[in-house]
Amino acid sequence: KAGVTQTPRYLIKTRGQQVTLSCSPISGHRSVSWYQQTPGQGLQFLFEYFSETQRNKGNFPGRFSGRQFSNSRSEMNVSTLELGDSALYLCASSLRGTLTDTQYFGPGTRLTVL
């Protein structure tokens, strides 16, 4: 079974631009979660989608948004980029996103904001 895939792997943007990251979950997984990883803040939860609905959101500004499609693929968007948005963005998928489910992670998208 193919793992979680994320595109692109690397991105360089300038302040004020916007960016869209894509995540394809493991086949059959309906929950997709997004995380931001930075040296200072560690791994922080952004949001989770299940059956095209956002069920949970972390403590991030409204510039961070996402969506999920009917095939469970997910995208996240960051508008008006700031230097502090430079990070590794990780996507994870699980069967249903429940407490018992294991989340499997993709390779991440490394975003650099100049």
Residues that bind other proteins (CB under 8 A): 31-33, 35, 42-43, 45, 48-50, 55-56, 58, 88, 90, 92, 94, 96-108, 110
CB contact at 8 A, 9 and 106: no
Encoding tokens for residue 80?
């008006």
In the complex, least distance from residue 80 CB atom to other proteins, rounded to whole angstroms:
25
- In whole angstroms, what is the distance from residue 36 CA to residue 94 CA? 18
DSSP state letter for 84: G
- Least distance (Å) between residue 51 CB and other proteins: 12
**CB of 33 vs other proteins, minimal distance in Å:** 5
